[in-house]
Chains A and B, each alone.
Chain A
Amino acid sequence: MRVLKSEWLKLVSVRTTWYLIGAMVLLEGLTAGLTTGLGDVDDLRKGNVSTFVIGTHLATVFMFTLGALLSTNEYRHGTANSTFVVTPKRERVILAKLVVGLAIGIAGALLYIAVHAGLGLSILASRGVDVDSDLVVNGYVGVGVGLVLGCLFGVALGALLRNQVLTIIVGLVLFLLAGTVALFIGNDVGQYFPGEALLALQNDPRVDLLSQTYGGLVLAGYCVALGIAGAVLTREREIA
């Protein structure tokens, strides 16, 4: 419990946290407003609602970055020293970071959905576009879970790699570029890439991938595997 409180304080006591969440919400709110406000009414009617729900991948990248900072700031700013002197059972620290990442991930996802859906759906309604509510709910659940998992992915990968810049670059490649790479390799393998699993989870109608549930499980699997590896390595490695 002590470690949890400490990790939570670390998260909320730096402005970057709020800047990242604020930027994400602003960006996605804007995107939602523009696509629904300026999009062709016929196109919107044709049922592109789920692509609108997904918004941009940047939201996930923002949450990923937030998680990555939670882990890598310790090494970047040298606080790993005092952290692991006060809590010599280092795996507890990583576990606490994952729990805190889960909490802020859920908060970020709820905020995203509130702003995005609030703005987007009300604009659609005012323009007389009916939406399939099942599709919308499905989409938002997928996007929300994706944001939470993205944040956890960042915490876990950061614990593993330690280096801040490296972690963020690897994350960007995995989430934004891996799709293209996956297509090169062939869909059979490619669909298990984190970026593709994320698309599947978000129920993106533009691509033919794993089912939504399966995509979520694959992404969650990455988080669990990386989290365990990060915790074990943090325990075994030297803090030097």
Chain B
Amino acid sequence: MADITVERLTKRYGETLAVDDLSFTVDAGRVTGFLGPNGAGKSTTLRALLGLVRPTHGRALVMGKPFHELKDPVRAVGAALDAHDVHPGRSGRGHLRTIAAAAGLPNSRVDEVLDMVELTPARDRRVKGYSMGMRQRLALAAALLGDPRILMLDEPANGLDPQGMRWLRDILVSLAGEGRAVLISSHVLSEVEQTVDSVVVIGAGRLVMQGMLGELVKGDRRPALVRSPRADDLRDLLEAAGASVARDGRADSMHVHNASLEEIGTLAAEHGIPIFELTHEVTTLEDRFLELTGEGGNVR
């Protein structure tokens, strides 16, 4: 049984179809990225899983059950929906204590999770004065309180600096390594690219693809970036060999589709063309993501 099962989920808000016949599953032991542009329906899906909104059709199940049927929801699921969901007048510690009390957890657990997210020095300060990154850490701490089997985090990387991102990546990967299911949403793939093992991509409320991260980009689809002082000559040779070549504004670089790095390098060497750079496009994954979810405005 998958830890999270979304089955033909549809959620309608008046005229707006926020989630449209969406199905996917999330398994334990890995980090799953839940991706889609703004307004794609990510938050709505998470809210349905947490029993906060009612599906119009279909089901959103956690460990095979609707959320409200879970015996011990706090130990099953830890969720962080929005880092702003805190009373600004409470201290970080005070905020967590209200949640721990409702969950029947001791105050010592509060201090433990504060330590895990490295917020101990600020724990007695009022949340009013927290930075965005500190609020994200506090939200994660709240999700971790019950030592849950499943983590659902809505845009946890939002507002984190590069160090924060690396820290988040390490902690999520190690939590998944302990056998938990970790589901994190994002509207930018690059933000979570290095964290997630598998992805669920949605657009306009519908499933676009589900699979391992690698499947998002099939090998032959990855264009190569080539820099050469004889770019025009190389382009002609490559096109003659069946590759498609696109030039950008720069005189010495081009983007090559349908040819492997090996083929390009060999061809250049055979004709004595110097190569300054030969690599896979780094932006490909993002481009592919945009391709899948559409570049246009998604505000519905």
Q: A residues near B, CB below 8 A?
A: 2-3, 5-6, 9-10, 13-16, 73, 77-79, 81-89, 238-240
Please give, as numbers and ranges, the residues of chain B lying within 8 Å of A77 by CB-CB distance.
Answer: 85-88
Query: Are A88 and B103 also in contact (CB < 8 A) when A13-B98, A14-B90, A238-B54 are?
Result: no
Contact, CB under 8 Å: A14 / B89: yes
Query: Would you call B82 an interface residue if the criterion is a C-beta within 8 Å of the partner chain's C-beta atoms?
Result: yes
Contact, CB under 8 Å: B101 / A6: yes
Query: Are A83 and B87 also in contact (CB < 8 A) when A238-B53, A238-B54, A240-B52 are?
Result: no
Please give, as numbers and ranges, the residues of chain B lying within 8 Å of A16 by CB-CB distance.
Answer: 89
Contact, CB under 8 Å: A81 / B84: no
Query: Are A79 and B54 also in contact (CB < 8 A) when A85-B79, A88-B73 are?
Result: no
Bound CA span A47–B86, Å: 51
Bound CA span A222–B67, Å: 33
Query: Are A2 and B67 also in contact (CB < 8 A) when A78-B85, A240-B52 are?
Result: no
Contact, CB under 8 Å: B86 / A78: yes
Task: Give the residues from 59 to 100 in chain B that come closer than 8 angstroms, CB to CB, to chain A.
Answer: 67-68, 70, 73-74, 77, 79, 81-82, 84-91, 94-95, 97-99
Please give, as numbers and ranges, the residues of chain B lying within 8 Å of A14 by CB-CB distance.
Answer: 87, 89-90
| Given A10-B87, A77-B86, A85-B73; 14 other pairs, CB 8 A cutoff | A2-B102, A6-B101, A9-B94, A13-B98, A14-B87, A15-B89, A79-B85, A79-B87, A82-B81, A85-B50, A85-B52, A85-B67, A85-B79, A88-B68
Bound CA span A79–B68, Å: 18
> Contacting B99 at CB < 8 Å: which of A15, A78, A82, A239?
A82
Q: How far is the CB of B92 from chain A (nearest CB, A)?
A: 11
Please give, as numbers and ranges, the residues of chain B lying within 8 Å of A88 by CB-CB distance.
Answer: 51, 67-68, 70, 73
Q: Which residue of B lies closest to A88 (CB)?
A: B68
Please give, as numbers and ranges, the residues of chain B lying within 8 Å of A2 by CB-CB distance.
Answer: 101-104
Q: Can you spell out 17 A-B residue pairs with CB atoms less than 8 angstroms apart?
A: A2-B101, A2-B102, A3-B102, A9-B97, A77-B85, A78-B82, A78-B85, A79-B87, A81-B82, A82-B79, A82-B142, A84-B51, A89-B68, A238-B52, A238-B54, A239-B52, A240-B13
Query: Would you call B47 an interface residue if the criterion is a C-beta within 8 Å of the partner chain's C-beta atoms?
Result: yes
Task: Give the residues from 26 to 54 in chain B that come closer than 8 angstroms, CB to CB, to chain A.
Answer: 47, 50-54
Q: How far is the CB of A92 from chain B (nearest CB, A)?
A: 10
Bound CA span A14–B127, Å: 11
What 0/1 pattern do residues 145 to 188 of B give for CB contact below 8 A with A?
A: 00000000000000000000000000000000000000000000
